[in-house]
């Protein structure tokens, strides 16, 4: 039988993610590109993936787009909600998954996963930057760090500070005051991780957390936040090999399922 290629695109607020799958399971190529204006990041991500796999667009049997930018991306055969793609992506990695906690650039979701990787229920915070990747970006900037450096810095904490503000803007002032008081950066970073974790865990509890729990989204690349969420919820959290690609992976699996139905 001929190989079937499908493409999944997750066009998020912060980054456009693209995954190319062979026969619905084998990850051939992937890309993460800043979202840019309208579909510019998504187009770049798709082009980069096709180029690195040496596959032309007409060799791709189906493209599914998800994420907040899915409806303005012009080159998708199908679109699917982020909730469905994240549930399906996590299910494709761990079939027994019951709960997905996705922390992205501008929202946090907790999803109950049902049969065949379909979402059964969900709760979401997309009203406020606190507890999202954006919060970490803002804090990293004040500390003159990259988001990718936060985990390592936070690991050295001895007395994590308590960030009491629930608002990103006020929390920013709190961190600036801590810096002025010469508080150790690692303790500040660990406090920032805890602050994100408390919000995500609070949201997930509204859904009643059932194990196994999978964490996805760009923030799952930060082990400091993952450990803090584990502590808050008292559960072990599974991280897929490429957590930021999870939505795009689910989209590519959805495209594959549609090709199989034809």
The residue ranges that bind ligand ADP (CB under 6 A) are 12-15, 67, 104-106, 133-134, 136-137, 147-148, 217-219, 221-222, 244
Task: Please identify which residue in the block is written with the tokens 């799952």.
Answer: 220
Does the bond joining 212 to the residue before it have cis omega, within 30 degrees of 0? yes
For 157, the token pair is 């904490």
Please state the closest distance from residue 39 (CB atom) to ligand ADP, in A.
14
| Minimum CB distance to ligand ADP smaller for 77 or for 151 | 151
Please state the closest distance from residue 177 (CB atom) to ligand ADP, in A.
23
Starting at the edge strand that comes first in sequence, how are the strands of the sheet with 26-34 ordered?
26-34, 15-22, 5-11, 60-66, 78-79
| Minimum CB distance to ligand ADP smaller for 5 or for 191 | 191
| Minimum CB distance to ligand ADP smaller for 20 or for 32 | 32
Please state the closest distance from residue 54 (CB atom) to ligand ADP, in A.
26
| Minimum CB distance to ligand ADP smaller for 14 or for 100 | 14
Please state the closest distance from residue 22 (CB atom) to ligand ADP, in A.
24
Please state the closest distance from residue 96 (CB atom) to ligand ADP, in A.
23
- Provide the H-helix boundaries in the chain: 40-53, 82-93, 133-142, 150-155, 168-180, 185-205, 223-233, 246-261
| Minimum CB distance to ligand ADP smaller for 105 or for 160 | 105
C-alpha distances in angstroms, 194 versus 13, 175, 180, 197? 23, 14, 21, 5
Going by their DSSP bridges, the two strands 99-103 and 78-79 should be labelled as: unpaired
């Amino acid at each position: 039988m001929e190989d079937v290629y499908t493409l999944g695109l997750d066009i998020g607020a912060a980054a456009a993610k693209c995954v190319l799958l062979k026969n619905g399971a084998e990850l051939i190529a992937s890309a993460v590109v800043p979202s840019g204006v309208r579909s510019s990041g998504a187009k770049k991500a798709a082009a980069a993936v096709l180029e690195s796999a040496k596959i032309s667009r007409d060799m791709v049997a189906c493209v599914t787009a998800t994420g907040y930018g899915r409806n303005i991306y012009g080159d998708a055969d199908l679109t699917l909600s982020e909730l469905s793609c994240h549930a399906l992506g996590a299910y494709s990695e761990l079939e027994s998954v019951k709960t997905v906690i996705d922390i992205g650039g501008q929202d946090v979701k907790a999803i109950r996963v049902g049969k065949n990787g379909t979402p059964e229920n969900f709760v979401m915070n997309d009203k406020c930057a606190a507890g999202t990747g954006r919060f970490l970006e803002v804090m990293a900037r004040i500390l003159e760090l990259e988001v990718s450096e936060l985990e390592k810095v936070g690991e050295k904490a001895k007395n994590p500070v308590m960030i009491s503000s629930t608002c990103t803007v006020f929390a920013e002032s709190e961190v600036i005051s801590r810096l002025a008081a010469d508080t150790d950066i690692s303790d500040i970073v660990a406090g920032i991780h805890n602050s994100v974790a408390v919000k995500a865990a609070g949201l997930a509890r509204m859904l009643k957390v059932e194990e196994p729990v999978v964490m996805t989204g760009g923030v799952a690349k930060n082990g400091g936040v993952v450990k803090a969420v584990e502590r808050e919820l008292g559960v072990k959290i599974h991280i897929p090999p490429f957590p930021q690609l999870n939505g795009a992976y689910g989209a590519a699996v959805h495209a594959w399922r549609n090709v199989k139905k034809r």
